[in-house]
Structure 1
Amino acid sequence: MATTKASAQHQSEGHSPRGFGAMDPERQRAISAAGGRAAHEKGTAHEFDSEQAREAGRKGGQHSHGGHASRAQHAEAGRQSHKNQ
């Protein structure tokens, strides 16, 4: 079993790692995949429509970029400011 940072911290505090978070990542992936398949078979799984997917992508982009301009926009702004000097 792989030791994660969290499980190593628990071991140093006198706790033994247990539960889903202490499992090998491959085992976690297998369990998660089985749960996803079961949810789809049961009909309770959420499926994004294109509008929901677009909104999720927009929010993710804002979160990862802090809502700021893209790298390309920053680079262009830098080139423009050097031209003006």
Structure 2
Amino acid sequence: MSEEKKMTHEEAGQKGGEATSSNHGEKFYQEIGEKGGEATSSNHNKEFYKEIGEKGGKSQSSNNK
């Protein structure tokens, strides 16, 4: 009986990411980043950006509190 090694979720994600990267160029990533930014902007207000801006200025350990 042959044993087939199953791929972990992490390995599958990495393989998919590498395939996407090899099939698409820099422009693809710019476009999806812009699209995501627009979606975030339409779903959140100024307070959201204020909060994440403040989090960004703090150390990782203080963000977890």
Structure 2 length-normalised TM? 0.39
Which structure has the larger Rg? 1
Q: Which has the higher helix share?
A: 2
Structure 1 length-normalised TM? 0.32
Flag the structure with more relative contact order, 1 or 2, with Cα contacts below 8 A and sequence separation at least 6: 1
